[in-house]
Amino acid sequence: MKPQTIRHTATPFFLASVFIFIFFPFLLLKAADPAELALSQIIATSEAVASNEQVRQRLLILEKEIEAHAPKSQKNLLRKIYRQARKHFLHNYKPYSYFSSTVLKGEYDCLTGTSLVAWFLERFGFSYQIAYTGYHTYLIVHLSDNDRVLLETTDPLHGWVDNEKAIDRRSKSYLKPPKKEDACYEFSLFENHSIKFAELPGLLYYNQAVAHFNNQDYNKAILSLEESLCFYNDSNLQMLFWLSVAHYSQQPEISTADKQYAKQKYQKYYNEWAQYKAS
């Protein structure tokens, strides 16, 4: 009698076990990367015009292209990143753009353009800060103690500034009240803040709230501000929240209960912000 051969079949349970013990740790490692998580949250601020993977694929293609022909000098690498980002993505200035529209359609504003370039700075390990003034964002990259570059994504001709005096002049110019058509809304406060990459989703949601407020859709403005508060909070955001609730509450078709609920939400977030500022 021939000895019987025991055949093992790949049961669903067995395959699932292989996935969990071999592949899942690598997925957890990727998910634990703060920059990767922030990028997913940045993409999620967009309207449902594209999947996370569509946007990531476009970004990855350019990243690999830059990596394949990366100059040895950090400054030249930075210049290449800035030029390639402009060439591939920053084509048509459009206020209140969505990040996915910047990557897939070339429509951008200062915030989505800054977010885009900041992502590549994260990927290539640059030391940098995201400057936010209340109505504008731009980047300052620190190559060394005495070598900085200001990157202005909305200025195709003079967006690269690497002279210290010119950087100081440009930074101070952003604190002046903007032209009326460039202001977020009438009561913007102009201060220089330095924000983190992980806080960018908050500003992108805030940008949408401003657009809804200007279109007098106060309910959508409130909803966008609630999303924004998950990532970022400042006096501009609190003021816009208060104004949105005030206008929303004046609409005759809104029920008393809904008006009261909106006011309670504002008070809740304001109290949290006040406690944070006091700590």
pLDDT of residue 53: 87
Mean per-residue pLDDT over the chain, rounded: 85
pLDDT of the residue at 33? 85
- Give the span between the Cα atoms of 111 and 98, in whole angstroms: 9
**What's the CA gap between 19 and 209, in Å, rounded?**
42
Among 69, 131, 50, smallest CA distance to 117 is for 131
* Sign of the dihedral through C-alpha 155, 160, 166, 169: positive
Q: pLDDT tens, 198-219?
A: 999 999 999 999 999 999 999 9
pLDDT, tens only, 219-261: 999 999 999 999 999 888 888 999 999 999 999 999 999 989 9
Token pair for residue 146? 């005495």
Q: What is the mean pLDDT of residues 22-41?
A: 66
Question: What is d(CA 114, CA 128) in angstroms, rounded to the nearest whole number?
Answer: 12
Q: Inform me whether the pLDDT recorded for 19 exceeds 80.
A: no
- CA torsion angle for 270, 273, 278, 279 (degrees, to 10)? 150
pLDDT confidence of residue 272: 83
Per-residue pLDDT at 24 exceeds 50: no
pLDDT of residue 78: 98
- For residue 93, the surrounding DSSP H or E stretch is strand 92-93
| Separation between Cα atoms, residue 91 and residue 71, nearest integer Å | 25
Contact 200, 115 (CB under 8 A): yes
Of 103 and 33, which is predicted with more confidence? 103
pLDDT digits (tens, 9 = 90+) for 150-193: 999 999 999 999 999 999 999 999 887 666 555 454 545 566 78
| Residue 8: band (very low, low, confident or very high) from pLDDT cuts 50, 70, 90 | very low
For 70-74, 122-126, 177-181, which range has the lowest pLDDT when averaged over its residues? 177-181
| Averaged pLDDT, 36-47 | 91
Return d(Cα 209, Cα 225) in angstroms, integer. 6
Distance CA 257, CA 167 (A): 51
Q: Give me the residue label for tokens 């004046």.
A: 250
Q: Could you tell me if 128 and 142 are in contact, meaning their C-beta atoms sit under 8 angstroms apart?
A: yes
Cα(92)–Cα(261) distance, rounded to whole angstroms? 40
Fold of 33-195: C8orf32 fold (3.10.620)
**Cβ atoms within 10 A of the Cβ of 9, count?**
5
Question: Which H or E element spans position 141?
Answer: strand 137-144
Average confidence (pLDDT) over 101-129: 97
Where residue 26 falls among pLDDT bands split at 50, 70, 90? very low
Q: Given this model, what pLDDT does residue 180 score? A: 55
Q: Distance (Å, rounded) from C-alpha 213 to C-alpha 216?
A: 5
- pLDDT reading at 1 higher than 50: no
Amino acid letter, residue 14? F
Q: What distance in Å separates the CA atoms of residue 187 and residue 173, rounded to the nearest whole number? A: 19
Q: What is the pLDDT of residue 145?
A: 80
pLDDT band, very low/low/confident/very high, at 52 (cuts 50, 70, 90): confident
- Looking at the DSSP bridge assignments, the partners of residue 161 are 150
Q: Could you give phi then psi for residue 192, rounded to 5 degrees?
A: -90, 120
Domain ranges of the chain: 33-195, 197-279
pLDDT at 29 over 90: no
Burial of 136 (0-12, 13-18, 19+ CB in 10 A): buried
How confident is residue 18, by pLDDT bands cut at 50, 70 and 90? very low
